[in-house]
Amino acid sequence: MREELIAYLETEILHGEEEVLAEDDLLGSGLVDSMGMMKFIAHIEEEYEITIPPQDLVIENFMTIAAIEEYVKGRSS
């Protein structure tokens, strides 16, 4: 899952111009803007067949690829 998330982010949102590590701060670093984040979240919902309720759409769950992976795994299990 981690590789898929990174690949999607790198190709679809960052257009292959930046490399992302699992622990990179996606939100504070300026890597992704708010529109990009919305696109990423829509992809996660579709790809992993989950609906993310509003109360889960918070910084703690989306700060890094690692945090997203942990959140999605927690939801799927």
Please state, in angstroms and as integers, the Cα–Cα distance from residue 28 to each residue in 18, 32, 33, 60, following that order: 15, 9, 10, 12
The answer to whether residues 29 and 14 touch, using CB atoms and an 8 Å cutoff, is: no
Query: Does residue 21 interact with another protein by CB under 8 A?
Result: no
Of these, 3, 21, 55, 77, which contacts another protein (CB under 8 A)? 55
CB of 47 to another protein, least distance (A): 19
Q: In which element (H, E) is residue 36 found?
A: helix 34-47
Of these, 4, 25, 45, 47, which contacts another protein (CB under 8 A)? 25
Q: Smallest Cα–Cα separation from 9: which of 36, 35, 27, 47?
A: 36
CB of 1 to another protein, least distance (A): 21
By CB under 8 A, which span of 4-12, 42-50, 53-61, 67-75 interacts with another protein? Answer: 53-61
Query: Does residue 54 interact with another protein by CB under 8 A?
Result: yes
Amino acid occupying residue 73: K
